[in-house]
Structure formats: structure tokens, C-alpha cells
A and B are shown apart, each in its own frame.
Chain A
């Protein structure tokens, strides 16, 4: 992000902030969708994050760290929206699965279902590590900086999250993970 723009926005320049928001909005929305797996909650999270960026920008001490700082606000907004997801998950629509890409390495739609189900059972912390690392191609030390965690923790989270997802794909029978009747 252009540091001059960040500094101008820090000093209340709404035009500069508009340029920043336009530049990062699509990427942040995509990240929120990947983490939350729900388009409406992702919209909310992105909106909250962008508003938070505007309001808290004066508190950013090093404008060159804008990207990490603002991604952290996005993850926090995802936490807030994820709380709603717990309560209302039966009503939430899933993101559409694009069947046209079925031959790009995916074995079946069932695999996607398994992955979707397993991913939704991960905490927001673990989803965020997966998304920042695998979707944005960020190295784990950078992911750690964004999330405000030790580098070792980012490695551990990636390991556990990948293990959980791999387990879902290795299952012999293709049935979705589900909560047992009580």
C-alpha cells in the first residue's frame, strides 16, 4: 500500500481513504469469504473492517505496516461475524461450488463437500492461517505478523488445520462430518 496515501488517510483525508478502500476492498472481501464461507457474513466483516480501518488509522504507528495491521482488523471482524455463524448456521447458504473446475485436480464434488465441512469446523484462527498462507501465498512469518502470533504458532496452526482437512479427504466413506444426535 502506498505509504503516502496511508499517512494522508491517517490525517483524515477521506479521498485518500477512498482510494485505499477501493484498492483493498475486493481482496479483503475475498479473504473474508474464504474464512467465513458465507457471503453475507463476509460482506459484514469486510464492511466492519473497512470502517474500523478508517476509525483507527490514526493509531497505526508505522504506516508501512498498514497491510498487516489492516488484515488483523479484518480477521477480528471475521471473529465477530463467526459468532453469528455459530448461532444461525442452519440458515446460512453455502458458497456455490463451481462444477466446471472439477477436473483441475479435485477428485469429486464429494471431496469438496468433505473439505467444506471440515473447514467449517476449524476455528477462525486456523482458517485464517490457511487462507493467508494458501490463498494469498504469504509466508508463515508474514502470516504470524498479521495475526499477531509467534511464528511457531502459525506453523503449528497450519499443521493441525492441514491434518484435519487431510483426514476428511482420506476418509473411505464419503459422508459429511456431523454432530451426533443427542
Chain B
């Protein structure tokens, strides 16, 4: 099939089944906007009162100052004005030099941490609260008993053009802050035991898990594709969950006593899990037996293979969702990435793309992936992923694709 035919074919396929009605969705949206204020903080549209020249000068001065701070932080990560931990003065590695440039909201690391960057905290942490949602904002949040709080968020809430994801960010709660969050969640009465609730029709996803006594209890509130035949949340339950979601997505609204250190810093993992996924292209027969991980690691340069084989297995109480993923230190992860990249293996800047690309996509996040094409032995396409390990020893979601 030539490219023109393929394009025509794809076009015809995309235009199939083209008739949809959004009336129900629009009605729901209009119901919601009745009580939703618009965001007017960043820019005053034409037609609103103009500021006086004196006020304008003050605003302009402040704007220049803010821009200067942002610029300093971009040019000097870990610099003197807030920002991520201070990296060493090492020469940029192969893995770093190919890393996508930090975004304008670079309070988090994209790809691997720069060489010499100290891990945020090497001590394991006891997870006491986890939020995963897309109602008020999309992202995840982990709170630990010792006050560590790590999160990532889709950037839509504070969007910079072209940025879709940000990396892992860390803040530090006080004991009162941890207690405030736990007691607020538990006091709803919804977290006595695991609970799945349905939302009818189209609705965002929410899952909150909390340490309640000696149990880690979760409530999932989702559409039928996820919640199955679970009961629909009552209006009281829906109200409680909506309020919790709003609270957990707005840390700035928490009491001042909640914080030991509210500064947002990059979370620097001390370990990464190295995972693989293998694919066969259409028309190729896939092996019926599972692929031994050693066969995949053998496709990598010797130095990378050696480090991976020396990695630790995932702990029994925190298995990796992608199978057997050896865990290595951040330094070893960097060495694996560097030797892999220097051997010519393609790094994916755009997770999920079949065939790979050298395009630097704006949707880069904190994941790192290499693409291998062993032409059928043992697979046609292999993804090597580097997954950050969190203080409770579980790895994070790696991004789309």
C-alpha cells in the first residue's frame, strides 16, 4: 500500500460512524458552570477598567522581578531562589544531554536527575494517604507518615502552552498537617472498609486511599467501565467525595500549621525500576511462552546488562505492575541509560509511538524509555522503561503509551 492509499484509508476509517450527539454532555456542563466561577487571575480581558500609570509601573516592575526569578531558576536549577535540589558540577551525561529541556514549570525533573543530585530521602516511608483523580485536577498524590508529600499533576490547572505533564514534586507536611488530612478524610465515614461507588454516565475518576487504624482503606468513585455493577454514590457520598477531592487538590487552602516546608522541590528518587515490555508487529507470530527477562537484557550493551542483572528484585509487598523489574540506584540507572544511549539505542521522547521518533514532544514527563527493534527475536519491539521508586517502595505510573 502506498502512502497516499494509506492516508485515504485512514481518512475514510476516521470518518466512519460520524454522528454523535453531545446534548446530554452540554446539559451537564451548563448545569456545572452555573456554580463555577471563571478564573480571572492571570489576565484582564479588554473592556475591564485600566490601571493607573502608577499602578501599571508597579505591576510592570513586579512582572520583571518575577520573570527574572523564573529565568534564574531555569538557567540555574537548584539556584538560590527556591527550586529543586542543587545538583553537583559534573559534566552533563549522555542521558542528561538528551533529556528534554525542563519546562517553564520545572520544579520537577524530566528524565533522570542530573548527575550529582542528591536523592530526596533514602529512607522508606509509610504511605498513609493516596489520591488519584481527575475531577478537580488530574494527577496523583502520596502522603507519608513522616510528613513527606509527593505529587504530580497534569498541567492543565496551571498550563504552559505545550506542557501536558510535569514531574514528581515534593513538599513537607508537619505532623499536624498529616493529622489534618487523615482526620478530614476519615471523618467522612466513608473509609471504614474498601468501597467502590459508581457514577452514572460520563464522570471523572477518583480514588482515595487512607490509613485508617491498621488498615489501608480505599474508596473508588468512577464510571461504570471501572466500577462495574457497584452501587451509585448517594448524593451525600458524592458531596463528601467531591469536597475531599477539592481539598486534596488545593494544598494552598490547608491551614498554615500543615506545613513544615511548603516549598515545592523536585522529588529525586533513590532507586529506579528497570522494566521492559515486548511487542510483536501485525503479521508476526508471537511466542507462546513468556520471554525470559535475561533475553531482553542481553540485547543491551554489556555494561547496562551487568548493572541490571545486579539489581534487586521488587519487594514482595510492592510488586511492579509491569512484571519483574530489577531495581537499581539512581546512579546505576544513569549509567544504564548512558551506556544504552551511547550504543545507539533510540530514546523515545514520545511514549507510545509505534516505531519511535527523535521528535522532542512537548508532552514529555518524568519517564524515560528506550526502544529496541530486535526483529522478532525475542520480539519485534521492546520498550525499556525507567520507573521512579517512591518511598513506600512502589513504582509510579509511567505515562501514556
Which A residues have a C-beta under 8 Å from some C-beta of B? 7, 10-12, 14, 17-18, 21-22, 25-26, 28-30, 33-34, 38, 40-41, 43-44, 46-48, 50-52, 54-61, 72-73, 76-77, 79-84, 86-88, 91-93, 95-98, 101, 104-106, 111-112, 114-115, 117-118, 121-126, 130-131, 134-135, 147-149, 153, 156-157, 160-182
Q: Is the interface of A mostly helix, strand, loop or mixed?
A: helix
Asked if B202 contacts A171 (CB within 8 A), the reply is no
> Once bound together, how far apart are the Cα atoms of A27 and B286, in whole Å?
39
Asked if A122 contacts B17 (CB within 8 A), the reply is no
Task: Please tell me if B39 contacts chain A, counting CB pairs below 8 Å.
Answer: yes
Asked if A79 contacts B6 (CB within 8 A), the reply is no
Task: Please tell me if B138 contacts chain A, counting CB pairs below 8 Å.
Answer: yes
B64 surroundings in chain A (CB, below 8 A): none
A118 surroundings in chain B (CB, below 8 A): 282, 354
A30 surroundings in chain B (CB, below 8 A): 18, 20
B11 surroundings in chain A (CB, below 8 A): 134-135
B29 surroundings in chain A (CB, below 8 A): 21, 25, 47, 50-51, 54
Asked if A149 contacts B154 (CB within 8 A), the reply is no
How many pairs, one residue from A and one from B, have CB atoms within 8 Å of each other in the complex?
274
| B52-60, B234-242, B356-364, B385-393 - interface stretch | B356-364
* Also in contact, A149 and B25, with CB within 8 A (given A165-B10, A180-B291): no
Asked if A180 contacts B280 (CB within 8 A), the reply is yes
Sample of 17 A–B contacts (CB below 8 Å):
A14-B30, A18-B30, A26-B22, A43-B25, A50-B29, A122-B354, A130-B14, A135-B15, A162-B7, A166-B1, A171-B282, A177-B280, A178-B286, A180-B280, A180-B287, A181-B288, A182-B323
Asked if A14 contacts B22 (CB within 8 A), the reply is no
Residue in A closest to B163 when the chains form the complex, CB atoms = A148
Asked if B12 contacts A106 (CB within 8 A), the reply is yes
